[in-house]
């Protein structure tokens, strides 16, 4: 069964391109983005892993560690990485998990047999410092992911953890945020300053800083 929001992300040990890891020890209380791929030397995956590498500074700025998974071996990963680097003009600086026995893919519900075979689909898990699953995305194998959206969602998660607010549709960092129904307008004014009350249940404030 696929993991649900709020579940504790299962721990595991695996070989990776950065050597053997134990997942929670590797995270060390950071946010993590764990994302899976059907196989090495595949076209969509090559563009995706390159894009994640290009965003290295963005992950670091958010205290987040990306980690990829493919059912192929570390030796295959090592042969594939130079292609990823060359095609995307970048350097893959995060681990790629080897999962030839599909143990991690099964543990995280990344295998969807109704997709036509038993390789992993394109699953994304955002996992918080407390090892809780905070966001899941699942794409078919033919559709590449939008990692700008994953960064946007990560920004929203980190902001809403930090402050008693919600984010509206298409929100991006710096945009106004929504006062949750559990906070009165008077309390919102005391906490955030000016409140734009569009409806009694829909109130906007400037996003808290810091």
Active-site amino acid positions: 45
Identify the pLDDT of residue 117.
56
Per residue in 150-162, pLDDT (tens digit) is 999 999 999 999 9
At the second CATH level, the architecture of 163-205 is 2-Layer Sandwich (3.30)
Give the global pTM.
0.92
Identify the pLDDT of residue 38.
85
DSSP 3-state of 54:
helix
Identify the pLDDT of residue 155.
98
Radius of gyration of the chain (CA): 19
Average model confidence (pLDDT) for the chain? 93
Range 35-64 average pLDDT:
95
Residue 97 has pLDDT above 70, yes or no: yes
13-145 belongs to CATH 3.80.10.10: no
β-strands 64-70, 31-37 pairing? parallel
DSSP 3-state of 101:
coil
Domain ranges, ordered by start, for the chain: 13-145, 163-205
CB 146 within 8 A of CB 162: no
Kindly report the backbone phi and psi dihedral angles of residue 34, in degrees, each rounded to the nearest multiple of 5, phi listed first: -105, 120
Residue 113 has pLDDT above 70, yes or no: no
d(CA 164, CA 186): 14
Identify the pLDDT of residue 209.
82
Distances from the Cα of 42 to the Cαs of 74, 81, 138, 141, 180, in angstroms? 16, 12, 18, 10, 44
Cα 58 to its chain centre, rounded Å, is 12
Give the closest residue to 15 by CA, choosing from 73, 60, 56, 61: 73
């Amino acid at each position: 069964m696929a993991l649900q929001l709020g579940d504790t992300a299962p721990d595991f040990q695996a070989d990776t391109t950065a050597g053997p890891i134990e997942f929670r020890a590797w995270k060390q209380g950071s946010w993590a983005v764990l994302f899976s791929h059907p196989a090495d030397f595949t076209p969509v995956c090559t563009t995706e892993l390159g894009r994640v590498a290009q965003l290295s500074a963005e992950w670091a700025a958010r205290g987040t560690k990306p980690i990829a998974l493919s059912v192929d071996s570390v030796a295959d990963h090592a042969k594939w990485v130079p292609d990823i680097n060359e095609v995307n003009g970048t350097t893959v600086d995060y681990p790629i998990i080897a999962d030839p026995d599909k143990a991690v893919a099964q543990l995280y519900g990344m295998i969807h047999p109704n997709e036509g075979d038993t390789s992993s689909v394109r699953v994304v898990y955002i996992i918080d410092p407390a090892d809780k699953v905070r966001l899941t995305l699942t794409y078919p194998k033919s559709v590449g992911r939008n990692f700008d959206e994953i960064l946007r969602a990560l920004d929203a998660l980190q902001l809403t953890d930090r402050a008693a607010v919600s984010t509206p549709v298409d929100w991006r960092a710096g945009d106004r945020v929504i006062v949750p129904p559990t906070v009165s307008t008077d309390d919102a004014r005391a906490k955030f300053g000016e409140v734009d009350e569009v409806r009694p249940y829909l109130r906007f404030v400037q996003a808290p800083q810091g």
